[in-house]
Amino acid sequence: MKHKYIAKRYWKDITTSMGQVGVLAKQYNDVINLSLGDPDLITHDIIIENSMKDAKAGHTKYTECGGDPELRNEIRKYYKEEYGFDFSDNEVMVTASGCHAMYLALEAIIDDGDEVIIHTPCFPPYQQQIVLARGIPIELDTYEEEDFQVNIERLKSLITDRTKAIIINTPTNPTGNCFTRKTFEEIGKIAMEYDLIIIADDIYVSFSFDEPFIPITTMEGMRERTITINSFSKDFTMTGWRVGNLIAPDFIIKTTQQINENVVFTAPSISQRGAIHALRNRKEIQPPMIAEYKSRVFYAADRINEIPNMSVLPPKATFYLFVNIKETGLTSMEVSDRILREAHVLTIPGITFGACGEGYIRIACTVNNVVLKEAFDRIGKMDIFK
């Protein structure tokens, strides 16, 4: 919006399709919303009830700048138990969401004009977050024909003297894919060869259906050059609690804490208590939740592959499906718009996730199978899918 009281860097509209979801969802009173990754499930009672007890017991004040010491300790215990990975208390910081963690990480490492490579299709905020930190986003295309894996030669071709970091997100939003161990190893070799930082956005680690997830920071030579971002939003259906964390070398954590003292100071204390109870009770909380999402995504994939002019790869992770709609002959914006107008189902156009996302739409399986059935029954009746 151009206005004399608005900073000129914001005169150009940067609203994305994801940012317009709320408005679009209100166009019809029977919309089935398969757009944002905000599931219909609510946070588990164990987390809610114990957090309420903690609030009544007095956990309503600021925590330490780096986060509640109990939560930092639980995060360390989690990594030790799940991955055999040890790190110290000064290598972890609690944040007010994964997005907040990404902002702090980028702000801490980027100098003006530094380039950050992001594999696309990708989570749309990455690009603007890099720009906000005065960096330059560089898109690394991945393709369905290559199983959406990072092509190492393509990656190397994008590296310049200004390249500072690579953001990786696996399990991946929006493709629902997972990088193989070989892909991780090759990315790691590139990072070491060119002395780059890896920012690993690990917010869907519980939803890896084929193979157990391996954090790249645990691989040989990667600890000292990896910033790991976690969030409780998806792994514990705590989207509204806004709590996440950073794991990184102590000098980076010290810097992100100093930055955050001037942003939000601390993550919400009650949300941090919720995260403590989530980690302590994860073996009870997560299995039925993961089973439900897996049921949904496999059901949806089967339905999609039965509809003409639609196809999707077998699900590997997350609750997203990146649906190929190229045979319609329409753009992703056109297809998404027609699905909304004709079927009253809200999806996200693939172009939102980067140029190589054209020809796809993203579906979030955040409603149960009964509702998904209705959504695909409606879509299947459209002329472009016959």
CATH number of domain containing 15: 3.90.1150.10
pLDDT at residue number 10: 80
Q: Using CA atoms, how far apart are residues 125 and 86, in angstroms rounded to an integer?
A: 31
Tokens of 307: 């509809």
Residue with the bigger pLDDT between 338 and 24: it is 338
C-alpha–C-alpha distance, residues 129 and 125, integer Å: 6
Is pTM beyond 0.85? Reply is yes
Among the residue ranges 21-35, 85-99, 126-140, the one predicted with the least confidence is 21-35
270 against 39, higher pLDDT: 270
> 367 lies in which domain range?
8-43+285-385
Give how many domains the chain has, as a whole number: 2
> Does the structure show a pLDDT above 80 at 13?
no
Q: Kindly state the average pLDDT of the residues 248-252.
A: 97
Give yes or no for residue 241 having a pLDDT over 90.
yes
Report DSSP state, residue 123: -
Helices marked H in the chain — which ranges? Answer: 21-25, 45-56, 69-83, 98-109, 125-132, 152-158, 181-193, 250-260, 269-280, 282-306, 332-338, 369-380
Dist CA 333 CA 368 (whole Å): 25
pLDDT of 94 above 80: yes
For a pLDDT cut of 70, what percent of the chain falls above it?
97
Q: Find where tokens 């990786």 sit.
A: 168
Measured over the CA atoms of residue 292, residue 294, residue 176 and residue 110, the dihedral's sign is positive
Tell which of 282, 297, 326 closes a domain.
Answer: 282
106 pLDDT higher than 70: yes
Decide: 118 and 138 in contact? Cβ < 8 Å.
yes
Instruction: State whether 20 and 104 are in the same domain.
Output: no
- The rounded distance, in Å, linking the Cα atoms of 238 and 232 is 6
* Tokens read off for 374: 């209705």
- Average pLDDT value for the chain: 94
Closest-CA residue to 372 (of 383, 384, 380, 382) = 380
Q: Is 130 found in the same domain as 88?
A: yes
**Is residue 17 pLDDT above 70, yes or no?**
no
According to the model, what pLDDT value does residue 20 have? 61
Beta bridge partners of 227: 199
Q: Out of 282, 297, 331, pick the residue that ends a domain.
A: 282
From the list 179, 174, 177, 198, the residue with the least C-alpha distance to 123 is 174
The reply to whether 50 falls in a domain is no
| Span between the terminal Cα atoms of the chain, in Å | 41
Same domain, 260 and 209: yes
Task: Say what the pLDDT of residue 19 is.
Answer: 56
Share of residues in the chain with pLDDT > 90 (%): 90
Range in 72-76, 217-221, 275-279 with the lowest mean pLDDT: 217-221
Q: Please determine, for residue 16, whether its predicted confidence score (pLDDT) is greater than 70.
A: no
- pLDDT surpasses 70 at 23: no
Minimal CA–CA distance to 199: which of 319, 268, 325, 106? 106
- Of the candidate ranges 7-21, 39-53, 87-101, the one whose mean pLDDT is the lowest: 7-21
Q: Confidence class of residue 91 from pLDDT cuts 50, 70 and 90? A: very high
pLDDT for residue 85 is more than 70? yes
pLDDT confidence band for 37 (50 / 70 / 90): confident
Q: At 236, phi and psi to the nearest 5?
A: -130, 20
Both 221 and 370 in one domain: the answer is no
CATH number at residue 243: 3.40.640.10
- The pLDDT value recorded for residue 4 is 84
Residues with Cβ within 8 Å of 178's Cβ and at least 6 positions away in sequence, in order, are 170, 171, 172, 208, 210, 211, 213, 316, 317
The torsion defined by the Cα of 85, 255, 126 and 35, in degrees rounded to 10, comes to: 70
Within-domain flag for 249: yes
Distance CA 337, CA 194 (A): 43
289 and 278 assigned to the same domain: no
Shared-domain flag, residues 263 and 333? no
Higher pLDDT, 230 or 26: 230
pLDDT band for position 205 (cuts 50, 70, 90)? very high
Ranges 27-36, 73-82, 262-271, 309-318: which has the least confidence? 27-36
Q: Cα dist. 99→137, 202, 243 in Å?
A: 16, 12, 10
pLDDT above 80: residue 193:
yes
pLDDT of residue 102: 97
Mean pLDDT score, 151-176: 97
- Is residue 113 domain-shared with residue 151, that is, in the same domain? yes
**CA-to-CA separations, 163 to 72, 112, 128, 152, 247, in angstroms, rounded:** 31, 12, 17, 15, 22
For the segment 281-302, what is each residue's pLDDT rounded down to a tens digit?
A: 999 999 999 999 999 999 999 9
Residues 215 and 346 in one domain: no
CB 245 within 8 A of CB 76: no
Taken as a whole, the chain contains a residue count of 386
217 inside domain: yes
Residue 48 included in any domain? no
User: Is the pLDDT assigned to residue 18 strictly greater than 60?
Assistant: no
